[in-house]
Structure 1
Amino acid sequence: MEGSSATIRLLASAVGAGIAEAATLPTDVAKVRLQLQSSSLGELRYHGMVDCIVKVARVEGLRALWKGLVPALIRQVSYHSFTFVLYEPIRDMVSLVLAMEAGRSNYFQRLLAAGSSAAIAIALFNPTEVLKTQMQSSSGNVTMKEVARKVWNKDGLKGFWAGLRPNVVRTFLVNGAEIGTYDESKLVFLESVGDGLVAHVSASFVAGLASACVSTPADVVKTRFMNAAGSDQAYRGIVHAGFCILRDEGFLALYKGFLLIVCRKLIWCTVFFVIYERLLRALIEAFGESQ
């Protein structure tokens, strides 16, 4: 990802993010359903990843597995494009501040730069995730307009930034682990297998696994907050939400949907980074780096 222009990075990341999101959205729908159900409320409706996907498809139709596709695409394309535009400048700035030498960033600096650029981006595009989460959690055919009207009537503009704090925390962890780990892992694989598909896929798998492991608890909290936008919130803040989930549902509740997140991240990162790297190279060869 070294040395490419902002315009080319934006275009390559937008295409990669759109394709990866559409391909993996069914696992995200299932993840949201699993994270929202609580054992403290009685018998669980879904019992694991496969059971959730099968039941949603059987009861609500196959199209239900792509609920929230429009806001999901808007979110991923906008947020990931903005993140990748910010990543290299922030990484180089962190290198200058901490190492006093641009282009010599270490793993910690890459994690910090990736997390910071993603946190800034998601703060801007939080409304798209509120819409996506509520559309995915609904068993009916609720539209984006209906969700937006409900949130606006109950909470006004601030309702679209419900769950912002856990979302920023989760996004910082996800992308710090995802982009930072990918960037670092790729350098390792380049030395052993060269700059090709094997290196990109291998680095994507490492990045996806690291991202899922560190981000799932924050993702559970974020989902709970966003699903309650437009209605009464059960939690006063991130710490209160985490405490209540631990107290009422146990430690494993903070890792609800973990298998789905791992599966989705492995697929998502592989599709995204492989497309991103190839499109980035093709655009640089076609238009150069002067844009």
Structure 2
Amino acid sequence: MSQQQISLPAKLINGGIAGIVGVTCVFPIDLAKTRLQNQRPGQQVYKSMMDCLVKTVRSEGYFGMYRGAAVNLTLVTPEKAIKLAANDLLRHHLSKDGKGLTVFKEMLAGCGAGMCQVVVTTPMEMLKIQLQDAGRLAAQQQKPVMMSSAKLVATNTVPSRSFNSGAVVSAPRAVSATQIAKELLLTQGIQGLYKGLGATLMRDVPFSIVYFPLFANLNHLGKPSPEESSPFYWAFLSGCVAGSTAAVVVNPCDVVKTRLQSLNKGASEETYNGVVDCVSKILRKEGPSAFLKGAGCRALVIAPLFGIAQVMYFVGVGEYILDNSPLNFLAA
């Protein structure tokens, strides 16, 4: 099936379903990535991804690995839908001259897609990180973390007007993403949810610039002929390879974003005044290798996410849903 023939509503459905399925499968690895990236030298709670997951299950239970998943599952549909649909629309617009897309135009389309998605990505990541990192802070303070299997909540403090001031969390209590969002809106306004926007742009725009052209060219190599689509397995592998490659390339930006968006700090953990200050302090105190923290985890998270997304396009899940529902007129 040619992707040029897929309608916009179908693209949105495919992207949304792919995001939900992918997040459900790989969220524990994403949690490990966040906790590993936030660790400072001399304060390591976790030695590796597997060590993090094992300790999380032991101290917080199985559902502890899914802290913050509710936020992701709620917002990943619009995020992935915006990213994939924006890229496809921009590629279509840039190829109207009939000459096809050059690599530069493919990168330009990816850049536009990355800039569009941060509208949803930034607040989603902001809330998710608070919930994911709560277990690390609790373990660092050697205090028990309470987790309900019915609710994905975190043992954390609600950020106050003095958040990010360097004060150590001393009286953790269970809060939800909704409570954190309300407190941020009350104390800082909408900009509170968009803390780290610059770092998110630094991560997502280059990611899309690398991913979309790389996927398109890898996928093209698997086509039996110019008129036919690449096989099912080739589309999946192309998505995985392109996704993991782009994830590793932008991992330094992801580390900076994670540090900036973490509102609560552990003992002796520094605060940062923007991207430049964050990069400078990490380089000075932790060295260049700190920017690769969680790179393996991030590659393992992103690869299946985008592999699954391409499979959804290949199978045509969105088209099937539209063709068999009262909303099929939208596909016209």
Separation (CA, whole Å) in 2 of partners of 1:228 and 1:288: 46
Separation (CA, whole Å) in 2 of partners of 1:153 and 1:102: 51
Separation (CA, whole Å) in 1 of partners of 2:94 and 2:261: 32
Q: Counterpart in 2 of 1:78?
A: 78
What's the offset of the Cα at 1:239? 2.2
Query: Structure 1 pair 121/235, CA: closer, same or farther in 2 (3 Å)?
Result: same
Percent identity, aligned pairs only, is 24
Q: Counterpart in 2 of 1:10?
A: 12
Residue 64 of structure 1 aligns with an amino acid whose one-letter code is G
Is residue 2:147 matched to residue 1:147? no
CA offsets, 1:250-284, max 9 Å, x none?
Answer: 11111110110111122222222212321357539
Is residue 2:121 matched to residue 1:119? no
Separation (CA, whole Å) in 2 of partners of 1:103 and 1:284: 33
Separation (CA, whole Å) in 2 of partners of 1:161 and 1:205: 29
Are the counterparts in 2 of residues 170 and 215 from structure 1 also a CA contact under 8 Å?
yes
Residue 252 of structure 1 aligns with an amino acid whose one-letter code is S
Is residue 2:139 matched to residue 1:137? no
Is residue 2:105 matched to residue 1:109? yes
Q: Counterpart in 1 of 2:236?
A: 201
Residue 66 of structure 1 aligns with an amino acid whose one-letter code is Y
After TM superposition, the score normalised by the length of structure 2 is 0.78
Is residue 2:289 matched to residue 1:218? no
Separation (CA, whole Å) in 2 of partners of 1:229 and 1:89: 39
What's the offset of the Cα at 1:184? 2.2
Which of the numbers 293, 299, 324 marks the counterpart of 1:262? 299
Is residue 2:212 matched to residue 1:175? no
SS of corresponding position for 1:19 = helix
Query: Structure 1 pair 142/56, CA: closer, same or farther in 2 (3 Å)?
Result: farther
Is residue 2:22 matched to residue 1:20? yes
Q: Counterpart in 2 of 1:30?
A: 32
Gap runs ≥5 in structure 1: none
Are the counterparts in 2 of residues 212 and 258 from structure 1 also a CA contact under 8 Å?
yes
Are the counterparts in 2 of residues 92 and 103 from structure 1 also a CA contact under 8 Å?
no
Are the counterparts in 2 of residues 12 and 280 from structure 1 also a CA contact under 8 Å?
yes
Are the counterparts in 1 of residues 49 and 297 from structure 2 also a CA contact under 8 Å?
yes
Separation (CA, whole Å) in 2 of partners of 1:163 and 1:44: 24
Gap runs ≥5 in structure 2: 136-154, 156-173
Is residue 2:196 matched to residue 1:163? yes
Q: Counterpart in 1 of 2:284?
A: 247
Are the counterparts in 2 of residues 16 and 276 from structure 1 also a CA contact under 8 Å?
no
Query: Structure 1 pair 21/189, CA: closer, same or farther in 2 (3 Å)?
Result: same
After TM superposition, the score normalised by the length of structure 1 is 0.88
Query: Structure 1 pair 273/122, CA: closer, same or farther in 2 (3 Å)?
Result: same
Residue 48 of structure 1 aligns with an amino acid whose one-letter code is S
Are the counterparts in 2 of residues 166 and 218 from structure 1 also a CA contact under 8 Å?
yes
Q: Counterpart in 2 of 1:57?
A: 57
What's the offset of the Cα at 1:135? 0.9
Are the counterparts in 1 of residues 111 and 209 from structure 2 also a CA contact under 8 Å?
yes
SS of corresponding position for 2:4 = coil
What's the offset of the Cα at 1:36? 0.7
SS of corresponding position for 2:10 = helix
Separation (CA, whole Å) in 1 of partners of 2:5 and 2:176: 41
CA offsets, 1:65-99, max 9 Å, x none?
Answer: 11111211122111111122221221233445xxx
The count of aligned residue pairs is: 285
Are the counterparts in 2 of residues 162 and 229 from structure 1 also a CA contact under 8 Å?
no
SS of corresponding position for 1:200 = helix
Query: Structure 1 pair 284/88, CA: closer, same or farther in 2 (3 Å)?
Result: farther
What's the offset of the Cα at 1:213? 2.0
Q: Which has the larger radius of gyration?
A: 2
CA offsets, 1:119-165, max 9 Å, x none?
Answer: 21213442122111111111225311232234234423211000001
Root-mean-square deviation (Å): 2.7
